[in-house]
Amino acid sequence: MQADEFEGQVVLITGGARGQGRSHALAYAERGADVAICDRCADSEAIGYLLGTQSDLDETKRQVEQRGRRCVAGTVDTGDRAAMDAFVALVQQELGGIDVAIANAGVSDGAAITDHPQALWDEVVGSNLTGVFNTVAAVAPGMAERGYGRVVTISSMMGRSSGPNMAAYCASKWGVIGMSKSAAQELAHSGVTVNVITPGNIDTPMVKNDALYAKVRPDLDSPTWDDAASVLGQLHAQPIAVMPPEDVTRVVLFLTAEASVHLTGIVVPVDAGWSTRTS
Ligand code: NAD
């Protein structure tokens, strides 16, 4: 991959305050793109771990600018269509037409179907499915009009499988795949591609938090990362509990390259072999 592969392009990334979103933002900046990032920068009462903060978002912006590129950062909840439309309009005004969009923002939590808070369903589906739809729908008109676009949506290995206490998360992530494939067909005549990545366990605060350790190890009183890692490691076929965000970034860059013009509507697992067991 060339160092200037995205020179002069404009890339929008949701959930860019930290984790995978930050990794993607810095990789594009290093390859010559201007970057727009947004994040809700607020916690959710329905989610059992802390979400990205304003200072996380500021730090991603600082690191993009440190790499010599422009950065527009916005505090936006992707579940709010009007806010997403306004952010896209701002980015187009400040940086120009959007070439690449990564619909990455999401949350992860679960509950038993026999005792499932409605607020948890609404939050997970609102952020992970409606938020991804809102992102794609907000950028698609500009891309179609300009006759060029590369969109990647982030699903999960749970978007091809299932698990106990994961009804909302699995529904949202399966939904991302169906929505993205439909968008790929619609946009196939417009020079716009839409592809999906289904990550396995990635080393971000979504996985590295006490609430997740307690869910994974209900047999222990105060489980640590090491306790959780022994269980998470069994999900992947390869002997690794979590992969670095850069493993996903590498595939994001590949799918959004100009040369990947005839790849559209595909689902790429970055899951250390999980999908060998499911599809
Ligand atoms: P993360 O929690 O570190 O980052 C996600 C970011 O998205 C946070 O900064 C959060 O504030 C933001 N966000 C959440 N809901 C939002 C909303 N409605 N509007 C705007 N911003 C919002 O986690 P991550 O691992 O970087 O997650 C990125 C994506 O990867 C998510 O879609 C997640 O479901 C998916 N994923 C993660 C894993 C994993 O193991 N970490 C595995 C499979 C899929």
Q: What is the ipTM of this complex?
A: 0.99
Q: How wide is the angle at C-alpha 173 spanned by C-alphas 247 and 49, nearest 5°?
A: 75
Residue 71: band (very low, low, confident or very high) from pLDDT cuts 50, 70, 90: very high
Work out the percent of the chain whose per-residue pLDDT is above 70. Answer: 99
- Mean pLDDT, residues 151-176: 97
Q: Do 144 and 225 have their domain in common?
A: no
Cβ(77) – ligand 1 distance below 6 Å: yes
- Confirm whether 31 is domain-assigned: yes
In a shared domain, residues 32 and 135: yes
Instruction: Give the span between the Cα atoms of 232 and 217, in whole angstroms.
Output: 10
Exposure string of 232-270, with b = 16+ CB inside 10 Å and e = fewer, is beebbeeebbbbebebbbebbbebbbeeeeebbbebbbb
Calpha distance 56→17 (Å, rounded): 5
Count of domains for the chain: 2
CB 89 within 8 A of CB 72: no
Q: Is the CB of 60 under 6 A from ligand 1?
A: no
Average pLDDT, rounded, for the chain: 97
Supply the range of the domain harboring residue 233: 208-241
Residue 272 belongs to some domain of the structure: no
- Same domain as 146, residue 229: no
Which of 37, 25, 21, 28 is closest to 4 using CA atoms? Answer: 28
Residues 130 and 152 in one domain: yes
Catalytic residues: 169
Which residues share a beta bridge with 14? 38
pLDDT at 57 over 70: yes
**Is 269 a pocket residue for ligand 1 (Cβ < 6 Å)?**
no
Per this entry, what is the length of the chain? Answer: 279
How confident is the model over 15-49, as pLDDT tens digits? 999 999 999 999 999 999 999 999 999 999 999 99
- Taking the CA of residue 154 as reference, the ligand 1 atom at the shortest distance is 32
Residue having the nearest C-alpha atom to atom 41 of ligand 1 = 202
pLDDT digits (tens, 9 = 90+) for 91-139: 999 999 999 999 999 999 999 999 999 999 999 999 999 999 999 999 9
123 shares its domain with 174: yes
Residue from 12, 11, 20 nearest 247 by CA: 20
Domain membership flag for residue 274:
no
For residue 4, name the pLDDT band (cuts at 50, 70, 90): confident
* Residues 168 and 195 both lie in one domain: yes
Q: Is the pLDDT of residue 250 over 90?
A: yes
In the predicted structure, residue 279 carries a pLDDT above the cut 70: no
Which residue CA neighbors atom 18 of ligand 1 most closely?
A: 127
25 CB under 6 A from ligand 1? Answer: no
Residue-level pLDDT at 1: 61
Rounded percentage of the chain residues whose pLDDT exceeds 90: 96
pLDDT 10s digits, 166-201: 999 999 999 999 999 999 999 999 999 999 999 999
- The pTM of this model reads 0.98
Question: What's the CA-to-centroid distance between 19 and ligand 1, angstroms?
Answer: 7
Return the number of other C-beta atoms located less than 10 Å from residue 119's C-beta.
13
Give the per-residue pLDDT at 247.
98
Whether residue 275 is contained in a domain is answered as no
Closest C-alpha to ligand 1, atom 21: 39
Residues 65 and 26: beta-carbon distance below 8 Å: no
